Amino acid sequence: MSRPSLIRALAVVIGMVLLAAACGQKPNVHLGGPGGGAVGGVMPSEGMSETFVDADGDGIDDNTGLTQDQFDQQVARAGAGDGGGQGAGAAGGDGGGAAAGAGTPAGSGGGGGSGGGGAGGGGGGGGGANPPPGPGDSTGVTDDTITIGIHAPLTGAAPLPSESFRRGKDQYWSLHKVAGRQVKVEFRDDKYNPSSASQVCQELVSRVKVFLLIGAGGTDQIAECARVAANAGVPYLSAGVTELRLNQLPNYFALSKSYGQQMPLLMQMINKEVKPTNKLVGLIASNTANFDDAVQAFDAAAKKSALTPKIYRPSKQASDGELAGIANSMSADGVTVATPVMAPTQWIKLASNPQMRSVRWRGIGITMGLNTVATAVCESSGGAVDKAAFFSPWMGLNMSGQVDPNFAEGGGKDDIEWSLWGLNKTIHAAFKKMGGNLTRQAFAQAMTGGISSGIYPDLRHTQSNHFGATSVNVLRLSCGSKPAQFRSEKADTFRKSF
């Protein structure tokens, strides 16, 4: 592959680090609070029309905020005089079932305790406990299969290496089942565009009827699809990126530490490994609102660690000239240790600037830690970036044989496939906690409490905090390897301190 083509392919990681879309909700759609209830919701079965109205074609009823299935269920209950026990605060709650567990999306079925319900969803549920008894929403589950959905940007601004992704999404499940069922993975290209993401996620939720939804890249697409999933009561997962807006969605679960959560650990690593004599640490973060929480956390963590932060905010689509200006400023300021939170293609250009050859790079994840990035940046910088280190949800591919030999048995070969293996293994750990109760409510409750995959960090989500990753893995750049790659040693795995 030519270097320009390779660099274009690298830009998929932009999806991990770019602007989160700030999207509103439809009327009468309200998200559950920490106890699984909704805030200020409606009782859709009270006087509701028997006609499903979807003028904008998003799969959600314009009047009640329900999906087609939820709407039909409410109409059927209203006709049967069923409505007893429906929580007044849960838009689309099933009624009559046990209260949803911590963070369970309102309206996903099974919600609302007996009596008037109210803002707390009829009493909430215990985080980390066994799955709640009683009826629930098993959309996406049949006697033989469980269907989950994944969206990612294969086309658009930056194509993902599609073959690795298409192979990787199924490799883990080719060797594992859930309660005797085969897991089917439905993939959609979101075209690196929030509007396209909304369309494909609506399709996955309303037509394909997936059990849960995963965002594999693109923070703005993740934000949009998390909103779509929340409105339909579908659990949504992604690697930790920003917390802005996502921390308001009870159906959202981060599978690794958020940008802000990683900053104190980053400063520990800098002080231990590459402490600058002038105490200056640079942050180059694209000038998007979605990175503001990362910038604030970097600034606070640096000062708390007796370091002096220098912040640079190039535009999201910075030109070569703008990046050269950043390099000039960093050189003039005397910055010798720096963290990039930007598109990998831009970091490759910046790191290859002659004025940056002496900079030692330490960073958070997910930003630069893919082997396609390693190959390009080692080549373009002449090896100047050797020994750069970045946090990551997963450890280096070189450790896959030690950590999980089944990865090779399943046909796994590259680090993209390895990352998907770890993601699916984490999801499987939650499924194992559910026993035979294959409902979305049980999955949401299983995600609170302890989850361990041995690849991704252990998760300790609570009712009020779905950013509960406990550690990071460290990837270290080896330009001397053939080909150049990110590697980890045992001491780099599941780090909680430095």
- Give the whole-angstrom CA distance, residue 53 versus residue 483: 56
pLDDT at position 153: 79
Residue-level length of the chain: 498
The per-residue pLDDT for range 90-121, each reduced to its tens digit, is 333 333 333 333 333 333 333 333 333 333 33
**How many Å apart are CA 377 and CA 371, to the nearest integer?**
10
The answer on pLDDT for 469 being more than 50 is yes
pLDDT, tens digit, 9 for 90 and up, residues 270-286: 999 999 999 999 999 99
Report the mean per-residue pLDDT for the chain.
Answer: 80
Taking only the tens place, the pLDDT of each residue in 372-420 is 899 999 999 999 999 999 999 999 999 999 999 999 999 999 999 999 9
444 in Cβ contact with 103 (< 8 Å): yes
CATH among 3.40.50.2300, 3.40.630.30, 3.40.190.80, 3.40.50.1100 for 259-397+474-494: 3.40.50.2300
DSSP assignment of 268-327 equals HHHHHH---TT-EEEEEE-S-GGGHHHHHHHHHHHHHTT-EEEEE---TT--HHHHHHHH
Q: Name the least confident of 124-138, 206-220, 453-467.
A: 124-138
Q: Is the pLDDT of residue 4 over 80?
A: no
Give the tokens for residue 25: 């909700």
Please tell me what DSSP assigns to residue 32: B
Q: Which band of pLDDT confidence, cut at 50, 70 and 90, is reported for residue 223?
A: confident
What are the residue ranges spanned by the domains of the chain?
145-258+399-470, 259-397+474-494
Do domains 145-258+399-470 and 259-397+474-494 share one topology? The answer is: yes
**What is the predicted pLDDT for the residue at 63?**
57
pLDDT value at position 449? 83
Per-residue CA distances from 485 to 12, 151, 224, 323, 378 (Å): 17, 26, 33, 25, 9
Report the range of poorest mean pLDDT among 78-82, 87-91, 360-364, 397-401.
87-91
pLDDT band at 31 (very low <50, low <70, confident <90, very high): very low
Residue 207's contacts (CB-CB under 8 Å, 6 or more residues apart) are: 59
pLDDT of residue 166: 86
Report the CATH number of the 145-258+399-470 domain. Answer: 3.40.50.2300
